[in-house]
Amino acid sequence: MTARPIAVVGASAAGLAAVEALRRGGWRGPLTLIGDEPHLPYDRPPLSKQLLHGAWEPEKLLLRTADQLAPLDLDLRLGTRATGLDVATRTLTLDGGAAGDPSEQGREPETLACAGVIVATGVAARSLPGADRIAGVHTLRTLDDALTLRGLLANGGTPGSEGVAAGGGGRRLVIVGNGVLGCEAAAVARELGHEVTLVGMAGTPMAEAVGAEVGELLAEEHRARGVVLRTGTVDGFETGPADPAGTGGERVTAVRLADRSRLPADLVLLAIGSRPAVGWLTDPALDTTDGLRCDAYCAAAPGIYAAGDVARWDHPLHGRPLRFEHRMNATEQGMAAARNLLAELAAEAPAAADGESAPAADRRPFAPVPYFWSDQYHLKIQAYGLTAGADRVETTVLDRAQRHAVALYGRDGSAVGVLASGVPPRRLRALRAVVATPLPWDEARERIRAALASGPDTP
């Protein structure tokens, strides 16, 4: 009898980490990696920075080349969507083709019975009603999204145009959403010479993630670089002919806000957040509220695990379910999910004669110290722990002109997160230690002060 494979759904950073950890952990049976994009696993954070800027080419984003993947002996299914999962039998349904690929229409779905499944499908970009029918309105989530937008920014914003707008002033880019993605794209577009308006519902950039004071420092930097900051809600788009002859549909000409103001635009980037890619998970045995709900071991059901942006799991130290859209978490959770799945499979059949099971091991709760970073202009912002949802924030500005600062974030009397901008690596490590486990607020404040007093402020 042919052994059932372990299937990892999502050829992402989390998915790659999972398949590599499965092989290292002793899984010698069939191993399937499924991805709905046609590309080998690649790194997403540079999409809105180095790749969009043109400093990196797509090849530099690859997490592994085909030659590097070969020793894993994968059944690699790129351009393939998972459309269903039967939890009781651990059976996947696959459509065999990427969404929207005309060559795959009418192809019969395939079922894949699995020994175990790891869901690493990540998130999808949110959009606005009707935006997909308007030329010039974009989202930025995939490599293809980034390459399309990069081409438009490089040639002035209009397909086929030569250079930037007359006078060298660049194109008018309106970015809807002033979170991390919107701010990073705004910085790149300004460095490329384009006129940028950054629109957010919050009054300061990245306020939800970093708080008002750090957000105001970022606002100062963006204004100093020439970005126009607006607060408001998008009410719709104005359009005109996509080409002078009027034969190619409609192209965006402006963004309308709810206060009736009008923002002229040659290009629009919608950076209004994301939604977990769980629409294909319809089995009632799974809870897909804000991601795929898992226990502390990253298990959503027997033999079904999740990792990366899509997973919402019980964090042992924070005592509540959390979901992180952070690059470091994707890799760490992919490895943790793989390890715990192997432990479960070994417990199910510890004496399997076929040799496909990993050695017996105990499952371990996944309890990382969350980490994220953002690069904007000369600034490198780094944060450990939980910064969003804090009920108390204390910010120490080290150098306002350079936007150097440290912020401590608290919740329910404990310090749970710390953020630093312009802090050298040695001191950053000391700050991480403060929030590796939640500490009483006053104790954490003293440790932060001691770390800041330990040396010069410049990196």
- Confidence band (pLDDT; 50, 70, 90) for 249? confident
Say if CB 401 and CB 352 are below 8 A apart.
Answer: no
- Tell me the backbone φ, ψ of residue 452, rounded to 5 degrees: -70, -25
Q: What is the CA radius of gyration of the chain?
A: 24
Over residues 196-207, the pLDDT tens digits come to: 999 999 889 999
- Confidence band (pLDDT; 50, 70, 90) for 102? very low
Model pTM above 0.75: yes
Say if CB 419 and CB 382 are below 8 A apart.
Answer: yes
Over residues 213-245, the pLDDT tens digits come to: 999 999 999 999 999 999 999 999 999 987 665
Quickly list DSSP for 278-328.
-TT---TTS--TTSEEE-TTSEEETTEEE-GGGEEEEETTTTEEE----HH
Residue 444 confidence (pLDDT):
95
Say if CB 445 and CB 452 are below 8 A apart.
Answer: no
Residue 246 confidence (pLDDT):
54
In angstroms, how far apart are the furthest CA atoms of the chain? 75
Compute the distance between CA of residue 320 and CA of residue 333 in angstroms, rounded to an integer: 17
Percent of the chain, pLDDT > 90? Answer: 81
Compute the distance between CA of residue 91 and CA of residue 376 in angstroms, rounded to an integer: 44
pLDDT at 186 over 70: yes
Quickly list DSSP for 227-276.
PEEEE--EEEEEEEESSTTS-S-EEEEEEEETTS-EEE-SEEEE---EEE
Structural domains in the chain plus CATH codes: 6-124+274-348 (3.50.50.60), 131-270 (3.50.50.60), 378-452 (3.30.390.30)
Alpha helix stretches (DSSP H) within 286-437: 327-348, 425-435
Tokens in use for 40?
A: 């080998």
Compute the distance between CA of residue 127 and CA of residue 204 in angstroms, rounded to an integer: 21
Q: What is the mean pLDDT of the chain?
A: 90
Over residues 357-373, the pLDDT tens digits come to: 445 579 999 999 999 99
Cα–Cα distances in angstroms (integers) from residue 104 to residues 20, 143, 202, in the given order:
30, 21, 42
Q: Which amino acid is at 430?
A: A
- Confidence band (pLDDT; 50, 70, 90) for 34? very high
Tokens in use for 313?
A: 């799991």
Over residues 42-77, the pLDDT tens digits come to: 999 999 999 999 999 999 999 999 999 999 999 999
Cβ burial, residue 445 (10 Å; 0-12/13-18/19+): middle
* Cα angle 396-397-403, degrees, rounded to a multiple of 5: 140
Query: Mean pLDDT over residues 301-310, rounded?
Result: 98
Residue 131 confidence (pLDDT):
94
pLDDT at 356 over 80: no
Cα–Cα distances in angstroms (integers) from residue 66 to residues 6, 14, 26, 101, 388, in the given order:
20, 17, 22, 23, 38
Residue 223 half-sphere exposure toward CB, CA atoms < 13 A? 12
- Tell me the backbone φ, ψ of residue 372, rounded to 5 degrees: -145, 160
User: Which DSSP symbol is given to 168?
Assistant: S
First-to-last C-alpha distance (Å) of the chain: 60
pLDDT at 167 over 50: no
Place of tokens 């126009």: 228
Compute the distance between CA of residue 50 and CA of residue 221 in angstroms, rounded to an integer: 19
Q: Residue 190 — left, alpha, or beta (φ > 0 → left; ψ -120 to 50 → alpha)?
A: alpha
